[in-house]
Structure 1
Amino acid sequence: MYRQGEIRVLALGLIRDGERIFLSEGYDPVKQQTFYRAMGGGVDFGETSRQALEREFQEEIQAELTNIHYLGCLENLFVFNGNPGHELIQLYQCDFVDRKFYELEQFTFAEGERQKTALWVDIERCKSGELRLVPEAFFDYLSAQL
């Protein structure tokens, strides 16, 4: 959770399967807007961003990752639920170890007290603007992976 004035460090995983990308769905109640973001989560004090990436996937969806490669850092300034946010995102390209994750279209998982949805999305739906991918700088890395 964000505290006012805090810069949060996240580790997110870019997982592609052909023309699909694996994303987590979010909703901003103030904007009444659904958005999509690569899965992952916060980096805890004393762990590397790669360790955080692997831990978050294990905790949230019990998935192991392989072929993990660092892509870069994104800085994201945003407003969510009416509050300003600031995050530094360590972005990794990776794959699932277990092939079952490529066969599932979508599933729900718990993130703290909240129920969230993870799903495969056709990349064109994000590029066309039909689905809102955040942060927008994510497209720079997505395009490089084509």
Structure 2
Amino acid sequence: MNKSGEIRVIVLGLIRDGERIFVSEGYDPAKQSIFYRALGGGVDFGETSYAALQREFQEEIQAELTNIRYLGCIENLFIYNNRQGHEIIQLYQCDFADSKFYQLESLIFSESVTHHHRALWVDIARFKSGELRLVPEEFFNYL
């Protein structure tokens, strides 16, 4: 988590396959709740969000992206683990270049040595019904 008072620029990739989207599972220890969000990560200084998107997918799940299209910008103010967060999200729609990713049930990837996450396909209906929590909420505007 970042230092307080810092705005983080991140990039997320919305990958849709029919009525399902590819998301990573997160857990908030303070709220003791599971949440989901699209894959992506931080944009480095001197790097475009487009380049960061490709790098993050390569680093995290060794995936090449194709049909990358800019969707928009989301400003996300949130509380995670009892700490305030502030993100500027550059959101892109994209597809996996390799069709094998569409066959996956789920996969485990490492953001760092200590942080392991699960990425999986989830039916959009499960988010819309409120059964599962998709963050940030504004994400629904793009589904």
For the aligned pair, the TM-score class normalised by the smaller chain equals over 0.9
1:67-101 CA-partner distances (Å, limit 9, x unpaired): 00000000000000110000000000000000000
The aligned counterpart of 1:36 is 36
Shift of 1:7: 0.3
Q: Given the alignment of the two structures, is residue 68 of structure 1 paired with residue 68 of structure 2, yes or no?
A: yes
- CA RMSD in angstroms comes to 0.5
Local SS of the residue matching 1:137? helix
The aligned counterpart of 1:98 is 98
CA distance in 2, matches of 1:2, 1:50: 22
Shift of 1:105: 1.1
1:25-50 CA-partner distances (Å, limit 9, x unpaired): 00000000100000000000000000
Letter in 2 for 1:90: Q
Local SS of the residue matching 1:91? strand
How many pairs align? 142
CA distance in 2, matches of 1:17, 1:2: 32
Q: Given the alignment of the two structures, is residue 4 of structure 1 paired with residue 23 of structure 2, yes or no?
A: no
The aligned counterpart of 1:114 is 115
Percent identity over paired residues: 73
The aligned counterpart of 1:139 is 140
Give unmatched runs, 5+ long, in structure 2.
none
Deviation beyond 2 Å, 4+ runs, structure 1: none
CA distance in 1, matches of 2:105, 2:21: 11
1:45-71 CA-partner distances (Å, limit 9, x unpaired): 000000000000000000000000000
The aligned counterpart of 2:14 is 14
CA distance in 1, matches of 2:136, 2:19: 19
1:106-136 CA-partner distances (Å, limit 9, x unpaired): 0100001211000000000000000000000
Shift of 1:3: 1.1
The aligned counterpart of 1:88 is 88
CA distance in 1, matches of 2:73, 2:106: 27
